[in-house]
Amino acid sequence: MNSNPTILALVLAGGEGSRLYPLTAVRSKPSVPFGGRFRIVDFVLSNLVNSGIHSIYLLVQYKSQSLIEHVNHAWTLSNAIPDQFVTVVPPQMREGPEWFQGTADAVYQNLNLIGSREPDMVAVFGADHIYRMDVRQMVGFHQRNGADVSVAAIPIPLGLASSFGVITADDDGRVSDFIEKPEQPVPMPGRSNCAYGSMGNYLFNTEVLKQALLESSERGENDFGRHILPRLIRSHKVYAYDFSTNRVPGIHAYEEPAYWRDVGTIEAYYAAHMDLLGLEPRFNIFNPKWRIFSSGYQGPSSKIIDGKIKNSLIGAGAIIKGGSIRNSIVRREVMIEEDVELEDCIIMDYTIIRKGARLRRVIVDRYNTIAAGTQIGYDSDADRARYHVSESGLVVVSRGDELSASRYS
């Protein structure tokens, strides 16, 4: 057993993210901003780099321009170290004119990248979750069990499990069944309110992956969860890695120790933001021992002239002229004018909130100007007439026009 196997990472970042609309109206799900300065894709890339995995291909597809620009700006690794790169790969259409037809097809269309690198293992990870993970702990589990494939898994509330791949595993983790998005998920033994859900992170022995993809292509199959994993369970050693055992350094006692969120809906995206707040947050975004990396912003610090701010994150370059901000995330270069009230809000970059505006449980996408005296989040009928309103009543103001946005107009 190689104690230090070479690992190539293929990150599936082509997600359309329709359930996260309208935040995905002009960008892919992995490119959606998160927290005070990040994008969702930064979390998987940071986990891989922090785990010593530096050979990374990012497979993109839908509305990928902003994601490509972000990765090119934020994720340029040193060329001085061999096999250290984060490279964006759009559909190459080597097998015909089609885009990626599924998760497995995305990797199949890039088998040449795997062949050119000849790694011992291939990590196929999703790009649309918020979490910290030491991938090397999963690699160790994979090697100790002599696995051909390992699937990162975590207990999921039974009511949400129909959106995940659901795993049945023995006590030692050997997978006996895998059903992608079942209508009636099977609960975990002894935990009737949870199912064992796949996180969409897979670790393959390289030759097993290559052969499985070739066979799937011949069969017209294109998805890991629906096709490849159920078939490999019958012929190979497939194990479920229990993510709840994963520990990264620097986690505080008050944090959820194995925090992982699928932020695929407006409600889940909003709730994950609220997990960042408080003196003892459920997920402390600042961890010097396991950093989340992103673009190196070169603008000024935030400037607070006046106002009352409680339990909020204020991004760099923001200007707070006055008003009240409670339980909110205000991202970079936002301007808040006098007498504004923000409560339980997410305000994205380059937005202006004019004097006297009132916002409650509102997500404002980039490049917006909220007019003086505007009220959002107080009258559901009026909000639905102008904005997108989620099932729970969260209001989302779609992205504004970058060309017409001005912080000083």
Report d(CA 173, CA 165) in Å as an integer. Answer: 16
Cα–Cα distance list, 90 to 57, 63, 100, 109, 258 (Å): 10, 11, 9, 10, 32
Q: What angle do CA 59, 63, 68 make, to 5 degrees?
A: 55
Amino acid at 71: V
Query: What one-character DSSP code corresponds to residue 301?
Result: P
- The annotation status of 165 as a binding-site residue, yes or no, is yes
SS3 354: coil
Site of tokens 């609960």: 187
- The annotation status of 200 as a binding-site residue, yes or no, is no
Q: What angle do CA 243, 248, 254 make, to 5 degrees?
A: 90
Report d(CA 130, CA 152) in Å as an integer. Answer: 14
- The annotation status of 341 as a binding-site residue, yes or no, is no
- DSSP element (H, E) containing 375: strand 375-376
- The annotation status of 237 as a binding-site residue, yes or no, is no
With CA atoms as reference, report the closest residue to 50 among 293, 355, 297. 293
| Residues of the binding site for alpha-D-glucose 1-phosphate | 165, 180-181, 198
| Residues of the binding site | 165, 180-181, 198
